[in-house]
Structure 1
Amino acid sequence: MMKSLMKSIFGSSNERYVASMQKLVSQVNALEDQIQALSDEELSAQTEKFRRMLDEGTKLDDLLPEAFATVREASVRVLGLRHFDVQIVGGIVLHRGEIAEMRTGEGKTLVATLATYLNALEGKGVHVVTVNDYLARRDAESMGQLYRFLGLTTGVIVPNQNEFEKRDAYNADITYGTNNEFGFDYLRDNMKHERSQMTQRPFNYAIVDEVDSILIDEARTPLIISGPTEDKSELYVQIDAIVQDLDDEWYEADEKTKNITWTEEGTDAIEAKLSEAGLLETDNLYDVENTQVVHHLDQALKANIMFKRDTDYIVKDDKVVIIDEFTGRMMEGRRWSNGLHQAVEAKEGVKIEPENQTMASITFQNYFRMYPKLSGMTGTAATEASEFWDIYKLNVAEIPTNKPVTRIDEDDQFYKNTMDKFQAIAKSIREHNDKGQPVLVGTVSIEKSELLSRFLEQEGVRHEVLNARQHEREAHIVAQAGRIGAVTIATNMAGRGTDIQLGGNLEFRMEDELSDMPEGPERDEAIARIKQEIAEEKQRVLDAGGLFVLGTERHESRRIDNQLRGRSGRQGDPGLSRFYLCLEDDLLRIFGPDTLFSRMMNSNLEDGEAIGSKWLSKAIETAQKKVEARNYEARKQVVQYDDVMNDQRKVIYEQRAEIMDSEAVDDVVVDMRHDAINSIVGEACPPGSYPEQWDIATLKERVEEVLGLNPPIDDWLEEDTLEPEIIEERLQAEADREMETKIAKTDPQRWRSFEKSMLLQKLDFQWKEHLATLDALRQVVWLRAHAQKQPINEYKQEAFGLFERMLDTLREDVTRELMTLRIADTAPEPVPAEILAGLPDFLTGHIDPLTGLDNSNDGDGSERRAAEFGALAGSVQAAAGPGGAFVEDPYADKNVSRNAPCPCGSGNKYKHCHGAISIRA
């Protein structure tokens, strides 16, 4: 009671915070007349003036009022748009490194120009992050006009650009791009072998558009760069055939987690079927020998039971294409991991592509936390404010609308079953359509959108369907959804990027109707006519009640529902929103409370009858909160596990950077060699032990294997005063002399270049293998919960031990390669072009490490050739010739994958054949 009274008197904390910025807004407004008086040249010169002031020690905060006033006036002159006062408030929030929640239609893209310009003055680069390539290109072009007028450079990052284009874009003052492409470029940069090949600059400041979609929804899954492994397509086909013939009583499915467990009867039955097919190594399904088969079996079962065609994916051009659950878009080039995508391909009978192995990965949480300053904007962030603060330390500020919202949000209508609900929806749409009111319908899947389309056809209502199948026409369909009598069915409206303007969109009508008309008086007349038609049509739509937003069911996240609702009632326009629900909706069926079902069924709801109540809306909101909390836990778990890997990733990437920046790495190589010798001696001659206890045979074997030496260890043992430390010192001295002799035979510059290249190559290989090990560990560590142990703590402990072992292996591997190297006198042979055919592709993905689900919002379809990575690596690879004599590797500059079959046709892996390292004299 007291809290409500205080709030009514003093306002909420958010209202007080927004009010506190009015002083700055007044300062910006006070400068407007002064800035308006400047000529175009003088206005553009403001940028150089501000930069001189920064060089002299002025702070960005002190420049804010004049810089914002400059951007506002430049926007009026270049774009014909003047920032509202609430947009100035939004710009201040972004500059302070916070999240600005602004309703749909309030001009967030224009708001971003304020903070972007101010922070770009430092010359350190500003990244503006969008959810898809279309928005990145559109905003870079439209807002780029403003920045260019003020003397700043703009770049855009999109898939399939070459290295030089990307580097130019990142070196611009302002860089637009998608969250995926920024993250993948970071990973790609840390796979390169020369600093000059890296494209990104040190991070400075990022503004994230649709921040809830990027930092919350997509943050459930990390970005992954992967390469293909061996082909197992026949195994997938065999197991899929078995899964297709299962009894429903043999397994239990949990739709909440998309997990499936076998019953006792099912385990016995599946063991019999797999044994009959000859797929089991032993009789017991869960013996370690059958691990691979069990994994494939689980994925096949999940693909057949949990993943639905036209909901989770579609089949296009004989390929399985994932559908993004948040936007309804196709994600070309994205694939589920851990064999799930292959299992779905086997289910659908299309070509099965090979599985992939992780080469590099990072979560969005750890990627964006690398920015010293981060901010974001969206229409819906308040419901996730606690998560934004917990994970990113970002405060959410709710910015008031420029004009009061007049949209009417009606109570949800509840029906007994799906058919009753869709009949009622179709009837309601027809009624509103008859009076000319435009209707935007939100569905949750392609299947539901096409079902509703059939109902509307029966009602005789003309309509457009926007889903993954009509992806190419997306912008045109959305842009005209506010015209008189328009009915638009959209799979999801999150991140569409195109405003629905009542009466129609001038830009798209000009594109559709005047694209072939040349510039001149006739075109000007046509534009004036279209503007007049739009104005008249807008008034008719306003008289009909504005845009009617109709939701066919509630999404598991309240934010997605609010995004749909927010399409109506922009900039003070009238509007209406209503959601239709039933007991068969996934949200209520899976997550709704039991009391909800029992009360509804006991109410004897008649077929076709609807009810609506505050209690019902509250129950639905409770179900949504339950799902949001579960998703938050899933995201937090991903962060906790990736935090462990992130510490190790930083060590590896920093080590790579040091190696690339060094003129020579001989001191690093020497330290590695001495550490490897220390380890070898320590294993065979433990400290504090007696000579009689030493394993001299193993010591000799390991010295020959790793160092390629045969020192007189037996003679040393005859000395009474021999200690392990003395053996270690002598071996180090022998190894050092051998290396000095070897180095003396080569050109010093070439040797230094070779050492750097080889060291980076070995580091990358061991890191890749370590990532695969951590992936496997993450899959099984949760089982330790049965022993009353915290899985994350177990993971931390195991991961640390694995990292230490990886470093030990790296030191030994580098030492072995250099010590056993033979200098070749022969020139390399030319490699036939046909040998290089069929090199594997490298794929970018956005994969959940626990479920294998892909959560990418921006499917770019890009696949990087192994040749691209090999060329960037610049590594020197060579191989052993006949009889153990080493010769120059004829394939050294052909970028052959280390694990690929050797091009010589020996049948061995490249790394065990011509991939053994050497260099020419």
Structure 2
Amino acid sequence: MLGAIARKIFGSANDREVKALRATVEQINALEPDVEKLSDDELRARTDWLRERLKNGETLNDILPDTFATIREASKRVRGERHYDVQLLGGMVLCLGKIAEMKTGEGKTLVSTLPVYLNALEGKGVHVVTVNDYLARRDAEWMGEVYGFLGLSVGVIMHGMTDDQRRAAYACDITYATNNELGFDYLRDNMKFRLEDMVQRPFNFAIVDEVDSILIDEARTPLIISGPAEDSSELYRAIDVLIPRLTAEDFEKDEKARAVTLTEDGTEHAEQLLMEMGILTEGTLYDVANVHLVHHVNQALRAHKLFQKDTDYIVKDDKVVIIDEFTGRMMEGRRYSDGLHQALEAKEKVKIQNENQTLASITFQNYFRLYPTLAGMTGTAMTEAEEFEEIYNLKVVEIPTHRPIARKDADDEIYRTAKEKWIAISEQLADCHERGQPALVGTVSIEKSEILSDLLKKKKIPHEVLNAKQHEREALIVAQAGAPGAITIATNMAGRGTDIKLGGNVEMRVENELADVTDEAKRSAAIEKIKAEVKADQEKVLAAGGLFVIGTERHESRRVDNQLRGRSGRQGDPGGSKFYLSLEDDLMRIFGSERMDGMLQKLGLKEGEAIYHPWINKALEKAQQKVEARNFDIRKNVLKFDDVMNDQRKVVYEQRRDLMQAKHVAEDVADMRAEVIEGLVEKFCPAKVYPEQWEVASLHEETTRLLGVNLPIAEWVKEEGIDQEVMRERLERAASEKMAAKVANYGADIMRQVEKSLVLQLLDQSWKEHLLALDHLRQGIGLRAYGQRDPLNEFKREAFNMFEGMLANLRERVTQMLSHVELQSTPRPEDLEARRPQPEMHENRDELEGDAQDGENATVQSRQASGTVNPNDPSTWGRVARNQACPCGSGKKYKHCHGQLA
């Protein structure tokens, strides 16, 4: 009560923040008459003048008014678009490193030019992040004209570009790219072997368009670069046959948690079926030897019981293609990881691709927190303000609209069954079409789009369907959705990036209808005719009430519902919106519609009748808030675990960069060797133990294996006055002499090159194995909660111990390899660069993967001078292919024996 009164008197915190910026807007407007008088050349020259002011000690804040006035005038001259005052406010909020919430149609693309131009003047690079390649290319072309006029360079990163093209794009003042391309380039850069091969510059300033979609929706899917693992496609096919034979009592499904598990009876039934099929030969399903079968059964169960064709994925060109649940787009190249995608391929009887093993990964949260300054813009951020502030330290500021919103939002209509709901929607659409009012219908899946489409076909109502299957025609369909009587059914409307203009879109019609018209006179006449038609159509649509938006069910997130509603009523246009719901909708069904159904039947609700009341809207909003809070907790929990890995990732990547920047790594190698020797001496020659009790044989064996020297350790131990320190000094001297002999033999330059290459390769290999071990640890750590222990603390402790172990193992491997290395040929610098991995994205457990080559090069070979292979000495084996027989003579494949990953 008191809070409401205070807000009325003083305004909200948001109002006060916006009000404080208005003085700067007046300052910028006051500069406009003088800037308008400048010639084009004088306007361009202001870029150098502003840069000079920065060099002379002024801050970005000091030059902001002049900068904004300059870019506004450039935009007027180049594109005929003048920034409104509210757009200047949005630009200032972005400059402060905050999120500007601006309603759909308020011109966010134009707003971004203000902070982008200001920050680009520093010359450190500005990244503009978009949700898809189409928007990255379009925005770079549209706004690139303005930046180019002012003398700034613009680059765009697209899928399939070479390293040289990427490097050139990142070197530009302004770079447009999708979040995926930026993240994968960061991971790939940290797998390079030379600094000059890296494509990105140090991070400076980034603006994220559709910030809620990228930093929240897509942040559930960490980026992963992976390499091929062992082929097990036949096992996926075999297990797939088993799932349809299970009964409903064999598994429990929790739709809220998106989880499905076998019951006790189900486990026994599965074991029986696996035995009949000859897959389970001994023991039970949960015996150590059969754990991999549990994994396959679980993933096959998820594929059959949780994932629906045409909702979660579609089958196209003999491939299973994921559908983005937030945009309804096909996610070409992305794959569910951890074997789920293979299980879906087996289910749909298409070619099964190999599984992958993680080589590098990062969450979007941790990637975007690398930027010193991050800002974002979207039409819907307020509902997620807490998450933005807690995770990214980004405050959300709501920017007022240029014109008041005239859209009328009706209360939801709720029907008992989905059939009644679809009939009511089709009748509403028939009425809209008859009156010439354009209507946009938002559905949550392709299947539901097609149900409505079939109903409209029966009523002979012309309409367009926009979903993953019409991906190529997307921009055209959305652009013409405002024509009189147009009916457009769209599967999700997030991040479409194309405005719905009442009466139709002149630019899109010109592009589509006049593509083949080359005669200038005919083309000009046709353009004028199209403009006149669109103007007339606009009057008709305005008279009919503007764009009418229909939601076919409530989404888990209020934000997605608001995005759909926001398509109507842009720039003060009239419009309306209404959601049609049924008790069979997912949100209603999962969150307790049974009681409501019973109540409605008691109240005598007849078939075809609907109920609508503001109280029901509030109840639904509370259910959505609960789901949003739960999803936030899930993301926060995932991030807490990834933060542990992120600390380790920073150490490894920083170490890699230091190694690449160093002229040589001889000192690092010597330090590693000294630590290995110190560890050996402490292990086998304890300080408080008599020399005759030392483990001399073990020490001799280990020094031979790791240092490649055959020393008379047994004789040394018999000497008078021998102690731990003397032993360490002698071992270090012997190892250093051996390395000095190699330097004398091969030349200092070649050995320095070999050392650097080897350290980087072994660091990458160790990190890769560590990531796999952490992945396994993460999967099982939740069970520690049953022992009254906090899984996160357990994970932190064990991950730290594993990291320490990885570093110790790396020191040993580097020391051993360099001690035994014999060069067969001089390595070329180009051989030292691992092949660049091409990302093939995956997602599961909310993970996104990219495919990669292993990245190890055979530039050096670890063999004895004689070239013979000793089965008892792995250092003599050189490179062994993982599927070859192990040289030790065990009869197993190398990957299952000495080549087994840690």
> TM-score of the superposition, structure 2-length normalised?
0.95
Aligned pairs (5 A) from 1:585-624: 585-592=585-592, 595-624=595-624
Q: 2:843 aligns with which of 839, 843, 847?
A: 847
Pick closer, same or farther for the CA change 1:687–1:827 going to 2, 3 Å: closer
Give the equivalent residue in structure 1 for 2:261: 261
Alpha-carbon distance between aligned partners in 1 of 2:185 and 2:885, rounded to the nearest angstrom: 30
Q: Does 2:651 correspond to 1:655?
A: no
- Whether the 8 Å contact between 1:405 and 1:573 is mirrored in structure 2 is yes
Report the alpha carbon displacement of residue 382 of structure 1 after superposing the two structures with TM: 0.2
Report the alpha carbon displacement of residue 285 of structure 1 after superposing the two structures with TM: 1.7
| 5+ long unaligned stretches in structure 2 | 871-878
In structure 2, what residue type is equivalent to 1:140? A
Percent sequence identity over aligned pairs: 55
Aligned length: 884
Give the equivalent residue in structure 2 for 1:193: 193
Give the equivalent residue in structure 1 for 2:757: 757
Give the equivalent residue in structure 2 for 1:890: none
Report the alpha carbon displacement of residue 687 of structure 1 after superposing the two structures with TM: 3.6
Report the alpha carbon displacement of residue 697 of structure 1 after superposing the two structures with TM: 2.3
In structure 1, what residue type is equivalent to 2:124? K
Give the equivalent residue in structure 1 for 2:411: 411
Give the equivalent residue in structure 2 for 1:77: 77
Report the alpha carbon displacement of residue 844 of structure 1 after superposing the two structures with TM: 3.7
- Whether the 8 Å contact between 2:439 and 2:486 is mirrored in structure 1 is yes
Report the alpha carbon displacement of residue 602 of structure 1 after superposing the two structures with TM: 3.9
| 5+ long unaligned stretches in structure 1 | 832-838, 857-862, 888-895, 915-921
- Whether the 8 Å contact between 1:224 and 1:844 is mirrored in structure 2 is no
Report the alpha carbon displacement of residue 259 of structure 1 after superposing the two structures with TM: 1.5
Give the equivalent residue in structure 2 for 1:891: none
Report the alpha carbon displacement of residue 287 of structure 1 after superposing the two structures with TM: 1.6
Report the alpha carbon displacement of residue 751 of structure 1 after superposing the two structures with TM: 1.5
Give the equivalent residue in structure 2 for 1:477: 477
- Whether the 8 Å contact between 1:824 and 1:886 is mirrored in structure 2 is no
Secondary structure in structure 1 of the residue aligned to 2:411 = coil
Give the equivalent residue in structure 2 for 1:717: 717
- Whether the 8 Å contact between 1:227 and 1:842 is mirrored in structure 2 is no
Q: Which has the higher mean CA deviation after the structures are superposed, 251-260 or 167-176? A: 251-260
Pick closer, same or farther for the CA change 1:260–1:688 going to 2, 3 Å: farther
- Whether the 8 Å contact between 2:435 and 2:485 is mirrored in structure 1 is yes
In structure 1, what residue type is equivalent to 2:349? G
Give the equivalent residue in structure 2 for 1:376: 376
Secondary structure in structure 1 of the residue aligned to 2:175 = strand
In structure 2, what residue type is equivalent to 1:77? R
Give the equivalent residue in structure 2 for 1:671: 671
Report the alpha carbon displacement of residue 696 of structure 1 after superposing the two structures with TM: 2.3
Q: Does 2:546 correspond to 1:550?
A: no
In structure 2, what residue type is equivalent to 1:68? F
Report the alpha carbon displacement of residue 874 of structure 1 after superposing the two structures with TM: 7.0
- Whether the 8 Å contact between 1:879 and 1:886 is mirrored in structure 2 is no
Alpha-carbon distance between aligned partners in 2 of 1:281 and 1:95, rounded to the nearest angstrom: 65
Alpha-carbon distance between aligned partners in 1 of 2:836 and 2:780, rounded to the nearest angstrom: 29
Report the alpha carbon displacement of residue 680 of structure 1 after superposing the two structures with TM: 2.1
Alpha-carbon distance between aligned partners in 2 of 1:610 and 1:647, rounded to the nearest angstrom: 55
Report the alpha carbon displacement of residue 882 of structure 1 after superposing the two structures with TM: 11
Secondary structure in structure 1 of the residue aligned to 2:822 = coil
- Whether the 8 Å contact between 1:281 and 1:290 is mirrored in structure 2 is no
Alpha-carbon distance between aligned partners in 2 of 1:825 and 1:874, rounded to the nearest angstrom: 13
Alpha-carbon distance between aligned partners in 2 of 1:208 and 1:603, rounded to the nearest angstrom: 50
- Whether the 8 Å contact between 2:227 and 2:851 is mirrored in structure 1 is no
Alpha-carbon distance between aligned partners in 1 of 2:597 and 2:672, rounded to the nearest angstrom: 66
Give the equivalent residue in structure 1 for 2:706: 706
In structure 1, what residue type is equivalent to 2:50? F
Alpha-carbon distance between aligned partners in 1 of 2:824 and 2:19, rounded to the nearest angstrom: 76
Q: CA RMSD in A?
A: 2.5
| 1:335-382 CA distance string (max 9 Å, x none) | 101100000111111111110001100011111111000000000000
Give the equivalent residue in structure 2 for 1:338: 338
Alpha-carbon distance between aligned partners in 1 of 2:758 and 2:807, rounded to the nearest angstrom: 15
In structure 1, what residue type is equivalent to 2:686? P
In structure 1, what residue type is equivalent to 2:690? Y
- Whether the 8 Å contact between 1:466 and 1:489 is mirrored in structure 2 is yes
Give the equivalent residue in structure 2 for 1:162: 162
| 1:525-569 CA distance string (max 9 Å, x none) | 111111111111011001000001000001111100000000000
Secondary structure in structure 2 of the residue aligned to 1:568 = coil
Give the equivalent residue in structure 1 for 2:861: 878
Report the alpha carbon displacement of residue 819 of structure 1 after superposing the two structures with TM: 0.5
Report the alpha carbon displacement of residue 692 of structure 1 after superposing the two structures with TM: 4.8
Alpha-carbon distance between aligned partners in 1 of 2:34 and 2:200, rounded to the nearest angstrom: 39
Secondary structure in structure 2 of the residue aligned to 1:674 = helix
Report the alpha carbon displacement of residue 281 of structure 1 after superposing the two structures with TM: 5.4
Secondary structure in structure 1 of the residue aligned to 2:286 = coil
Pick closer, same or farther for the CA change 1:123–1:899 going to 2, 3 Å: farther
Report the alpha carbon displacement of residue 258 of structure 1 after superposing the two structures with TM: 1.8
Give the equivalent residue in structure 2 for 1:362: 362
Secondary structure in structure 2 of the residue aligned to 1:407 = strand
Report the alpha carbon displacement of residue 263 of structure 1 after superposing the two structures with TM: 1.6
- Whether the 8 Å contact between 2:223 and 2:848 is mirrored in structure 1 is no
Q: Does 2:35 correspond to 1:35?
A: yes
Give the equivalent residue in structure 1 for 2:137: 137
In structure 2, what residue type is equivalent to 1:37? K
Alpha-carbon distance between aligned partners in 1 of 2:859 and 2:823, rounded to the nearest angstrom: 13
In structure 1, what residue type is equivalent to 2:655? Q
| 1:189-214 CA distance string (max 9 Å, x none) | 00000000001000000000000000
Give the equivalent residue in structure 2 for 1:385: 385
Secondary structure in structure 1 of the residue aligned to 2:206 = strand
- Whether the 8 Å contact between 2:479 and 2:505 is mirrored in structure 1 is yes
- Whether the 8 Å contact between 1:708 and 1:819 is mirrored in structure 2 is yes
Give the equivalent residue in structure 1 for 2:458: 458
Secondary structure in structure 2 of the residue aligned to 1:260 = strand
Give the equivalent residue in structure 2 for 1:182: 182
Report the alpha carbon displacement of residue 640 of structure 1 after superposing the two structures with TM: 0.4
Pick closer, same or farther for the CA change 1:519–1:721 going to 2, 3 Å: farther
Aligned pairs (5 A) from 1:244-643: 244-280=244-280, 282-592=282-592, 595-643=595-643
- Whether the 8 Å contact between 1:184 and 1:844 is mirrored in structure 2 is no
| 1:12-56 CA distance string (max 9 Å, x none) | 111111111110000000000000000000001110000011111
- Whether the 8 Å contact between 2:583 and 2:593 is mirrored in structure 1 is no
Alpha-carbon distance between aligned partners in 1 of 2:681 and 2:100, rounded to the nearest angstrom: 61
- Whether the 8 Å contact between 1:226 and 1:842 is mirrored in structure 2 is no
Secondary structure in structure 2 of the residue aligned to 1:21 = helix
Pick closer, same or farther for the CA change 1:449–1:163 going to 2, 3 Å: same
Secondary structure in structure 2 of the residue aligned to 1:580 = strand
- Whether the 8 Å contact between 1:757 and 1:874 is mirrored in structure 2 is no
Alpha-carbon distance between aligned partners in 2 of 1:910 and 1:745, rounded to the nearest angstrom: 34
Alpha-carbon distance between aligned partners in 2 of 1:790 and 1:825, rounded to the nearest angstrom: 53
Secondary structure in structure 2 of the residue aligned to 1:549 = strand
Alpha-carbon distance between aligned partners in 1 of 2:389 and 2:304, rounded to the nearest angstrom: 39
Secondary structure in structure 1 of the residue aligned to 2:309 = coil
Alpha-carbon distance between aligned partners in 2 of 1:826 and 1:165, rounded to the nearest angstrom: 30
Pick closer, same or farther for the CA change 1:806–1:255 going to 2, 3 Å: same
Secondary structure in structure 1 of the residue aligned to 2:260 = strand
Q: Does 2:219 correspond to 1:219?
A: yes
Pick closer, same or farther for the CA change 1:584–1:92 going to 2, 3 Å: same
Alpha-carbon distance between aligned partners in 1 of 2:618 and 2:316, rounded to the nearest angstrom: 41
Alpha-carbon distance between aligned partners in 2 of 1:92 and 1:825, rounded to the nearest angstrom: 60
Alpha-carbon distance between aligned partners in 1 of 2:417 and 2:434, rounded to the nearest angstrom: 26
Report the alpha carbon displacement of residue 725 of structure 1 after superposing the two structures with TM: 2.7
Q: Which has the higher mean CA deviation after the structures are superposed, 195-204 or 240-249? A: 240-249
Pick closer, same or farther for the CA change 1:194–1:874 going to 2, 3 Å: farther
Give the equivalent residue in structure 1 for 2:797: 797
Give the equivalent residue in structure 1 for 2:735: 735
Report the alpha carbon displacement of residue 592 of structure 1 after superposing the two structures with TM: 4.2
In structure 1, what residue type is equivalent to 2:843? I
Pick closer, same or farther for the CA change 1:73–1:200 going to 2, 3 Å: same
| 1:502-546 CA distance string (max 9 Å, x none) | 111111100111111115222111111111111110110010000
- Whether the 8 Å contact between 2:479 and 2:500 is mirrored in structure 1 is yes
Secondary structure in structure 2 of the residue aligned to 1:331 = coil
